């Protein structure tokens, strides 16, 4: 590492540690992390990282998207968004990277390493050329199956003439996959999609949409859930009984949605292995709540995170415009506890991961420098919040420059170090140089 960069980086980490009382009135555990390295990748355009996973060889893989054709993307031909997959070894050195897409906008969102050592990628795409063989209109759910070296084994698009997005994917025990997002049901019905029967079940603008496919991408079943307004699924986990638990947000108060709390709520839907609705729950207050991610807990419960603008009903406290909201529910959908984290400005979470100690790592972004935060480098910083198993804050860190910086996901290594991925537009983010409008960023914290 360049020595002239190490001093300001260490200063940022130390300045983010605190022994002050946290939001529960408890003494926050002091934690001074050591930023081992920070790397950025991209060209003169825009890049972002949305998901990171550990790989079976001890390394990790990162999925995002890019529209650059220079810099690290000088092998790319068209200045449009493509899926971008980067494979790193255990030391954080880039082994290979590849883009996937065509002449349209193709946005990679999530990935899983498959049982054969390859990868399955999901997101949403407009292309019907290049690597894409079909598109039904606007965005389709686009799934790509790769081998271990990143070569395409098969790809499929799933959608209709409207905007159909996929945000998360997992591999099932039978070697197939389940992915979630939202369906533009109005145009899907116009295209003849009638898996729920009559027009009375047409629902509204957008629906939670879950799709089960086999190992070759053939549809086994799919179903949508929601009401007459806007409902979108952002993440999914598989339950111990083989069913699927999806989360996102709902604006609806009818059809599949009951007990709405306000404008937008965290909405959680559990289906069985065949896609039949088992239960659904709404969580929130009178304001807006958007759930972004879900993780399974050691006791077969679930933690869900996103952001809240409320300070009533299910939300006991709000520190400002928007706070990170972290909730835990049991496998029946009952609320176990809820926690808010933030300052007086806009703060939001993008992902939650279960840690080896039973606690949780929440990744997001913050504009605040007060209440739960004491430092902000600029417009928007990457923010990490580590909690114990009950959701109490253990430590928090911010990273950034004077521009807009977003954290989207983290990975805990076996030695308990943390890899963070996201994007930065800061020309003064502690690093060697800025490559473009936004760069993909990877950081290791020990």
Instruction: Supply the pLDDT for residue 35.
Output: 81
* Each residue's pLDDT tens digit, 122-159: 999 999 999 999 999 899 999 999 999 999 999 999 99
CB 381 within 8 A of CB 404: no
Annotated domain spans of the chain: 38-445
Rounded CA separation 354/12 (Å) = 25
Using pLDDT thresholds of 50, 70 and 90, give the confidence band for residue 198: low
pTM value is 0.91
CB 387 within 8 A of CB 394: yes
Instruction: Supply the pLDDT for residue 205.
Output: 74
For the cut 70, the answer to whether the pLDDT of residue 363 exceeds it is yes
Instruction: Supply the pLDDT for residue 15.
Output: 32
Based on the number of CB atoms within 10 Å of its own CB, is 276 exposed (0-12), middle (13-18) or buried (19 or more)? exposed
Residue 103 token pair:
């002449």
Nearest to 309 by CA among 292, 288, 324, 326: 288
Give whole-number Cα distances, 420 to 40, 239, 319, in Å: 12, 26, 25
Instruction: Supply the pLDDT for residue 359.
Output: 97
CB 87 within 8 A of CB 119: no
Residue 193 C-alpha from the chain's centroid: 28
* Each residue's pLDDT tens digit, 210-238: 999 999 999 999 999 999 999 999 999 99
For the cut 90, the answer to whether the pLDDT of residue 425 exceeds it is yes
Task: Write the CB contacts of 410 (distance below 8 Å, at least 6 apart in sequence).
Answer: 52, 351, 353, 361, 363, 384, 418, 419, 420, 421
Q: Cα-atom radius of gyration of the chain, to the nearest Å?
A: 21
* Each residue's pLDDT tens digit, 247-298: 999 999 999 999 999 899 999 999 999 999 999 999 999 999 999 999 999 9
Residue-level length of the chain: 446
Residue 294 token pair:
């879900």
Rounded CA separation 355/19 (Å) = 22
Average pLDDT, the chain: 90
Rounded CA separation 226/269 (Å) = 9
For the cut 70, the answer to whether the pLDDT of residue 19 exceeds it is no
CATH topology assigned to domain 38-445 = Methylamine Dehydrogenase; Chain H (2.130.10)
Rounded CA separation 428/395 (Å) = 25
Rounded CA separation 321/36 (Å) = 33
Q: What mean pLDDT is predicted for residues 348-374?
A: 97
Residue 192 token pair:
């003849």
Using pLDDT thresholds of 50, 70 and 90, give the confidence band for residue 26: very low
């Amino acid at each position: 590492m360049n020595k002239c960069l190490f001093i300001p980086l260490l200063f940022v980490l130390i300045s983010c540690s605190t022994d002050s009382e946290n939001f529960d009135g408890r003494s926050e555990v002091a934690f001074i992390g050591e930023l081992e390295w920070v790397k950025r990748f991209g060209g003169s355009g825009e890049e972002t990282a949305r998901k990171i996973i550990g790989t079976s060889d001890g390394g990790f893989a990162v999925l995002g998207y890019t529209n650059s054709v220079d810099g690290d993307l000088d092998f790319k031909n068209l200045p449009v968004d493509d899926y971008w997959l980067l494979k790193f070894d255990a030391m954080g050195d880039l082994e290979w990277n590849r883009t996937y897409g065509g002449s349209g906008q193709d946005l990679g969102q999530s990935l899983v390493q498959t049982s054969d050592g390859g990868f399955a990628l999901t997101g949403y795409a407009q292309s019907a050329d290049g690597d894409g063989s079909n598109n039904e209109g606007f965005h389709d759910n686009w799934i790509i199956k790769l081998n271990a070296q990143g070569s395409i084994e098969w790809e499929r698009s799933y959608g209709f003439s409207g905007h159909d997005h996929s945000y998360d994917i997992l591999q099932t025990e039978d070697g197939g996959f389940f992915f979630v997002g939202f369906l533009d049901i109005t145009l899907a019905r116009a295209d003849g999609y009638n898996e729920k029967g009559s027009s009375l079940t047409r629902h509204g603008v957008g629906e939670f949409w879950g799709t089960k496919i086999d190992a070759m991408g053939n549809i086994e079943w799919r179903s949508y859930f929601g009401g007459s307004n806007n409902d979108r699924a952002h993440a999914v986990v598989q339950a111990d009984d083989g069913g699927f638990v999806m989360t996102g947000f709902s604006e609806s108060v009818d059809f599949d949605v009951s007990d709405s709390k306000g404008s937008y709520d965290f909405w959680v839907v559990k289906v069985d292995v065949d896609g039949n609705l088992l239960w659904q729950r709404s969580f929130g207050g009178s304001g807006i709540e958007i759930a972004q991610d879900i993780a399974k807990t050691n006791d077969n419960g679930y933690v869900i995170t996103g952001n809240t603008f409320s300070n009533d009903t299910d939300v006991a406290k709000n520190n400002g415009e928007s706070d990170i909201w972290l909730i835990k529910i049991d496998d029946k959908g009952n609320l176990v506890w809820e926690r808010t984290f933030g300052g007086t400005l806009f703060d939001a979470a993008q992902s939650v991961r279960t840690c080896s100690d039973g606690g949780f790592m929440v990744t997001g972004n913050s504009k605040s420098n007060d209440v739960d935060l004491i430092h902000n480098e600029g417009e928007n910083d990457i923010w990490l919040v580590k909690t114990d198993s009950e959701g109490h804050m253990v430590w928090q860190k911010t990273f950034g420059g004077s521009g807009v910086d977003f954290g989207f996901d983290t990975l805990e290594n076996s030695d308990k170090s943390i890899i963070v991925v996201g994007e930065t537009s800061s020309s003064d983010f502690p690093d060697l140089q800025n490559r473009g409008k936004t760069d993909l960023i990877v950081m290791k914290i020990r």
